[in-house]
Amino acid sequence: MSDQSVADSNAGAASPYVLEIDRISKRFPGVQALTDVNLRLRPGSVHALVGENGAGKSTLMNIIAGMFPPSSGEIRLDGRPCAFPSPRAALDAGIAMIHQELNLVPYMTLAENIWIGREARNVLGLIDHGALRRRTQALFDRLGIGLNPEDQVRSLTIANQQLVEIAKAVSYDSRVLIMDEPTSAITENEVVLLFRIIRQLRDEDKAIVYISHKLSEVFTIADEISVFRDGHHVATDVVSAFTQQRLISLMVGRELTQLFPKGEPRIGEVALSVRDLALDRVFSGVSFDLHRGEILGIAGLIGAGRTNVAETLFGITPATAGEIRIGGKPVVIDSPGRAIEHDMALLTEDRKATGLYLMLSVLENMQIASIRNFNTAGFVRQGTLTALCQRMAVSLRVKTPSFDVAVQTLSGGNQQKVVLGRWLMTKAQILMLDEPTRGIDVGAKAEIHRLMSDLAGQGLAIIMISSELPEIIGMSDRIMVMHEGHVSGFLDRSEATQEKIMELAAR
C-alpha cells in the first residue's frame, strides 16, 4: 500500500480504489457496532458484503451514505479524505444507497418520486412535468424497466416499487451504488432484470456494493466478497476464492454442517382442515388438511395470496366463504382473539409493521399475547409471566443485554425469536409462520429451522410461507403452491424440485 500512497501524492488522486474505508469504528450507547473496519471499493466491480445480522454491514453503509458519522476512522474518496455530514452530502459526492425499506411517496407518481428534490424546472421556476416524464422514460428505457412514469406508486406491486427505488438510485449517476438486500421483496423475473442492470452499471465503471443474505445470488453477481462478523471485517477476496461452506463458516465463526436440519417427521391426525376457503376478490377455493407433526410449506410468487390465506385463517381478514375445522369441529374465526382461543398463532410477514412493539421492552413484547391467560381480575401476574419469558428466551437463545431494553435495539434474528417466543408461550398447537427467516442471517436462520423441526416433532402443526425455494424444499413435508388467488397444486417432499414449484407458481 505504501507504493500506492506515494503514487497518490505524486499523481494526485490516482488511487485504484474509488472508495476506501480505513479503520472505521462506530459506537452506539451500550453497543460497539463496528471495530476498526476496512473496505476498499474498485470502480467497475460488484463488491458483495455478507455477514450475520448485527455484524455491522448496514451500520457501515449508513455511515458511508451520510446517515450518521463514524466514531473514529477515515473515509477516502479517490484517495482524498472526506466526511459525509448528511445523506445529501453523500449523494453530492457520488454515493447513492438503496435501503431495505422503501422510501417512496405512495400518492405521487413514479416520475415525481424519482426526481423529488431535484425536479426539472421551466423558465418561471415551476416544475416542468413534461420534462420529468421524458427523463423518467429515458431512464426506464436505459434500464429496461417497463413501467409507466405517470402511474402512482401505491398502484404498484412491492416488487415494482423496488424497481423504482433502484431506478431512482441509478438516476443520481453516482460512482458508488450501495444496495441493501435489493432482492428481499422481488420475484425471480425482477432479479434477472436487476442483475442485468448491475452488470450494465459495472461496465460503466460504477462501484456497486451488494449486501445480501442470499448466498446463491452473491456467487452469481459478485466479483469480490467481504465478510463481516460481530462488527469486525473478517475477510475479503475474489469470489472464486470462496465456497459456500467457507463463506458460511467465516460469517458464523463455526462450522455449520446442515443448513436445513430436519428430523424424521411423525405425522399425526388432522389438526386443521380447510375447505373452499375464500376471501372476496382476493382468493378462493383454498382447501387443505394440516396434520400434527407436519410442516406444510406454502409457495408461490408475490401476490399469489399466501399471506392473505394465513391472515384469513387467523381472523385478521375473516373468510367470506368456506369452512374451517379444528380437531374435526367446524369453527368460525372472526378475529385474532378467536384464533388464539383455538390455539392458533401467526408470525406475520412484516415483523416491524405488525409483529413488534418497537418502543416497548423485550419482556413486554414477549408477554403481550399471554396476558389474557395470566391475569387475576385484571391484575397481571407479572412474576409468573417474567419467569416464563425468561425460560422461553433461554430456550430460543435470544441474545439481549436485558429484558428491559427496547426490542428495537435487537438484531433482526433476535427480534424474530422474540415474536416467535410470544406465540410459543401461548401454547399454540397450530403455528403459522409467514416468511420466518426473512432478513435474518444464516446462523439465526438455522436456529429457527431447528426450532421448527423440534416443534413439529413435539406434535405442533406448522404452516410455513416462504419465498425462498431452498427453504421450502428443505423444510416442508408437503408443499402447497398458490397462483393468483388459487391453489395450483400440491407436492410431496420426495418429488419437490425448484422447477416443479416454479411451474406451478407461474401457471
Partner 1 sequence: MTTAVQVATAAGQSTTRRKLPLEASILLVMVGIALIFELLGWTLRGQSFLFNSSRLLIIILQVSTTGLLAIGVTQVIITTGIDLSSGSVVALAAMVAASLAQPGDYARAVFPALTDLPALVPIFAGLVVGALAGLTNGSIIAYVGLPPFIVTLGMMVTARGLARYYTHGQPIGMLTNQFTFIGSGAVPVIIFLITAAIFHVVMTYTKYGKYTYAIGGNMQAARVSGIDVKRHLVIVYTIAGLLSGLGGIITAARSASGQAGMGMGYELDAIAASVIGGTNLFGGIGRITGTVIGTLILGLMISGFTFLGVNAYIQDIAKGVVIIAAVTIDQIRRNRQSRA
The answer to whether 442 and 244 are in contact (CB under 8 A) is: no
Residue 274 C-beta: closest distance to partner 1, Å: 20
CA distance 121 to 131: 8
Torsion of CA 463, 464, 470, 473, to 10 degrees: 0
The residue among 406 and 506 lying less far from partner 1, judged by its C-beta, is: 406
What is the torsional sign of CA 358, 360, 366, 372?
negative
CA distance 84 to 62: 10
> Strands 461-465 and 295-300, how do they pair?
parallel
Residue 47 C-beta: closest distance to partner 1, Å: 27
The residue among 34 and 496 lying less far from partner 1, judged by its C-beta, is: 34
The residue among 62 and 453 lying less far from partner 1, judged by its C-beta, is: 62
Assigned C-alpha cell, 264: 424424521
Residue 283 C-beta: closest distance to partner 1, Å: 19
CA distance 489 to 471: 18
Residue 22's Cβ-side half-sphere holds a number of Cα atoms within 13 Å equal to: 14
The residue among 257 and 402 lying less far from partner 1, judged by its C-beta, is: 402
CA distance 66 to 91: 8
Residue 432 C-beta: closest distance to partner 1, Å: 11
The residue among 173 and 334 lying less far from partner 1, judged by its C-beta, is: 334
Contacts of 334 (CB under 8 A, 6+ apart): 315, 318
Phi, psi for 286 (deg, rounded to 5): -85, 120
Contacts with partner 1, residue ranges (CB under 8 A): 27-30, 68, 71, 314, 316, 335-337, 339-340, 346, 348, 353-361, 364, 368-369, 371-372, 375, 378-380, 382, 404-406, 408, 422
* Residue carrying C-alpha cell 433461554: 394
The residue among 319 and 339 lying less far from partner 1, judged by its C-beta, is: 339
Assigned C-alpha cell, 425: 408461550
The residue among 278 and 360 lying less far from partner 1, judged by its C-beta, is: 360
The residue among 290 and 356 lying less far from partner 1, judged by its C-beta, is: 356
Residue 478 C-beta: closest distance to partner 1, Å: 26
Listed residue (238, 254, 447, 218) closest to 246, CA to CA: 254
Residue 167 C-beta: closest distance to partner 1, Å: 30
Assigned C-alpha cell, 340: 388464539
Residue 359 C-beta: closest distance to partner 1, Å: 5
Residue 253 C-beta: closest distance to partner 1, Å: 27
Residue 321 C-beta: closest distance to partner 1, Å: 23
The residue among 269 and 404 lying less far from partner 1, judged by its C-beta, is: 404
CA distance 311 to 30: 38
Contacts of 344 (CB under 8 A, 6+ apart): 313, 314, 326, 333, 428, 429, 430, 431, 432
